[in-house]
Structure 1
Amino acid sequence: MSTGSGPTPPSPDKIPRTERGRKTLRKLLDAAALEFGERGFHDASITGITRRAGVALGTFYTYFDSKDEVFHALVRDLSGLVRDAARHALEGEHDAIGTERAALAAFLAFAREHKEIYRIIDEAEFVDPASFRSHYETTALRIHERLQRGAQSGELRADVSEAHAWAIMGMNVFLGLRYAVWSEDLEPDEIAGIASDLLDRGLASR
């Protein structure tokens, strides 16, 4: 995985102070993503994570106290990486509809590289409900803020709402499931173009 905005461990006393420590934490989170993604939360193990990361078992406890704790950190980390992928894609000039198109294409590309995100986020609903809800609420909030900017500029209809943001997020999630996890038979830009055409017809200011 990319380093994104950087992982955040669950407690202040475990924040790595050195670059080496930050790299080790990154390796543990990447290994946890593979372990949980392949085996699921209940069958995954701390030894499986450390083996994948290539570190000693004791190293794990320098950063996390339990399997639950690393899972919690992983959900937050994945959510941050999705956010950063969209942020990088939106650098430069985009109109309101083009912004959503670029954000979706970036998400689809990210999901193709990290298919395990779907299983991990889905399991979070039961293993870590607070992080599950936060992931979707913060994602919807970012979309809503973008839509509001489009409405303020006159590009989008004036009545765009939070519900519109959740509808767009739902579309994006299931497009990712179909065209990033289950198959890759259409390119991300093509899928994003189809979705943005729907948005243009439904949200653009007339």
Structure 2
Amino acid sequence: MDMYSPYISLVKSIFSKAEIVLDKFHIVNLINKAFNQTKISIMNSIKDGSLKRKLKLFWKSLLKYYPELSQTPYYCHSFNRKLSSKDKVDYLLENSPELDINFNIYQNIIQSIKHNNFKRFENIVRKNLIEKDKISKKMLVALKTLKKHIKYIENMFESNSTNGLIEGLNNKIKSIKRTAFGYSNFSNFKKRILIQAGIISISA
């Protein structure tokens, strides 16, 4: 489940003996959003026009899991030489210490989840809430939220269940609603969802 407090309270009141397990999707989404907002804030405060343009161009690479970034070099007009995705990220981090600090927190949390290491996850959260040096307000809010729900997050690490498939389908439905010009009835809307999900064919 997600970290919406009223929802958690409701579940606890109805299912008093249930073990609450937060979903990895929501943990990753929380820290991803916090870091992305941090990146935007830092980018807007940078006076170096060249560095700011590079941050605007290569922001997606900063959100990816660092060990999975491509190391294959390609010619890049912004740098006027061949660079890999990892090289570009390294350049951005080297030229912005504040970005580097928040990036490392973001990456360490993602890594602990990928390696299913709760102790490391908890240590990252608690350590950075104590030190706070150059950590953005958005990241601090995210870390405080993670600390607040640390017990439920521990349950997540001990469980293999995930809402990823459901969340993906929910996002697909939202996308259909956004791009549609309207459906004459619910049946057509339902059919479009099933077609997009690959459950039925267009001829059905």
TM-score (norm 1): 0.30
Higher relative contact order (CA 8 A, sep 6+): 2
TM-score by length of 2: 0.31
Greater percentage in helix: 1
